[in-house]
Structure 1
Amino acid sequence: MRLSAEQRRQQILDAALVEFSSVGFEGATVERIAQRVGLTKAGLYAHYASKDAILEALFVTTIFSPSIQSHWQWVEGASLEETVDRFLDMAYSAIGDPQASAIFRLLITESGRSPERLRSWHEHILLPHATRRQAELDECVAKGVIPDNAVSRNFAMATSPVVIALLTQLLFGEELAEQEVARIRSAHREMLLILFARRGN
């Protein structure tokens, strides 16, 4: 069966993640990625212009995708607790996803090897992602769901425990880190409910 262009691109990204995770970005070759999906190098280049383009596409189409559901999506009539829990469900879901974990590990590894590449990722991937997430918080503030304070004005502050949980799992593995990640999430919930409680409640 002939694959659509979208299916083929996803197949290439899946193969590239395996290759990058196995030998690192620098050790991976376009030729080996193409071989994994039964393409020639020219066939792969019809979908992605370079190895860097494949790596960026991995980030953009998964954990940093503009199409990802809003983290701070407020539902009419929802309580602060329900809104926070919805955010936590979305934010912590990537921690248990093997593909997302592999991509985060790759991001950390490759950012240390190439500061120039990291600057490009920051400008084209990370900053737009943070801007989208901050806009969601701003909307919650505008609707009176959460207060305007130092945490609601800084998406990174509201989200930082997720990064700690992710690093804990990457360092110690899912089984060893399971209880610690649960503790981090519980503390994260309590922290947000305290910081986002409206005065008078």
Structure 2
Amino acid sequence: MDAQIAAPARREGTRLRLPPAVRSQQILDAALAVFAERGYAAARMDDIALRAGLSKGGLYAHFASKDEVFEALLSRVLVAPELGEPPAAALGSEALVDWLLDELDASLGRPELRAVLRLLVSEAERVPAMVARWRSTVIEPFLSAVGELLARHLGGQRPGAAPPLLAREPWLALSPAVHALLMQLVLPQDLLYPPQRVRQAHRELLLLMLAQG
């Protein structure tokens, strides 16, 4: 389990009164820690309440079921990455690629995201509507934004010509990073490629594809 995921338990007697929104986020932090440790199926509402420093009744005042906690957790974490301001076109492809890789590292490198994706891989059949919504509201808009960015950078398209491959299929620009993330979810640390090797290979591939248009 990622060390950053752990949420310390708090004795009920020392529990502070917090606004409902703050308490809900605290519960979701606790739920993520419990789900990561035990898996969704083995986790109990009692476990989440204990980790959050609440009574079971206090937990049910915020969430009616474990499924509801899980869906709220997915909604909190699986949000569309916000792309920053790209470098000026005059700086060339290398600046664009380095910027895009930095954006991907920041978005995909969050321990909370990795923990939730690991849960989602194992529990996708339990929440098919949530998975479909994630694709339509997070994945597709992000791919569209990346595709538009790459199309602007490539520019100069001849009238009637097909758009460049990366503009048509922007998921190709992200595939090495997504592959590396998937490997992090299923393989032990000692079997993973070094991050710098993955980034360098991704960088070279993107520069090659951009050069080919």
The TM tier, using the shorter chain, reads 0.7 to 0.9
Alignment of 1:16-55 (within 5 A): 16-55=31-70
Query: Percent of aligned pairs with the same residue?
Result: 35
Cα distance in 1 between the residues matched to 2:123 and 2:136: 18
Alignment of 1:1-201 (within 5 A): 1-62=16-77, 64-66=78-80, 68-70=81-83, 73-77=85-89, 78-93=91-106, 96-111=109-124, 114=125, 117=127, 119-141=128-150, 144-146=152-154, 148-174=163-189, 176-177=191-192, 179=194, 181-197=195-211
Give the residue type in structure 2 aligned to 1:82: A
Give the residue type in structure 2 aligned to 1:55: F
In the alignment, is the contact (CA less than 8 A) between 2:32 and 2:115 conserved in 1?
A: yes
Cα distance in 2 between the residues matched to 1:52 and 1:40: 18
Distance 1:56 1:160, change over 3 A: farther
Cα distance in 2 between the residues matched to 1:103 and 1:128: 17
Q: Is there any run of 5+ residues in structure 2 with no aligned partner, and where?
A: 1-15, 156-162
RMSD: 2.7
Question: What does the per-residue CA deviation read over 1:151-180, in whole Å, with 9 as the maximum and x for residues that have no partner?
Answer: 33334322121122123333444455252x
User: How far apart are 1:65 and its partner, in Å?
Assistant: 1.5
SS of the residue 1:152 aligns to: helix
Aligned length: 190
In the alignment, is the contact (CA less than 8 A) between 2:97 and 2:203 conserved in 1?
A: yes
Q: Is there any run of 5+ residues in structure 1 with no aligned partner, and where?
A: none
- Give the alignment's TM-score, normalised by structure 1: 0.77
SS of the residue 2:165 aligns to: coil
- Between structure 1 and structure 2, the one with the greater Rg is 2
- Give the alignment's TM-score, normalised by structure 2: 0.74
In the alignment, is the contact (CA less than 8 A) between 1:137 and 1:153 conserved in 2?
A: no
Distance 1:33 1:173, change over 3 A: same
In the alignment, is the contact (CA less than 8 A) between 1:19 and 1:33 conserved in 2?
A: yes
Cα distance in 1 between the residues matched to 2:79 and 2:175: 19
Give the residue type in structure 2 aligned to 1:146: L
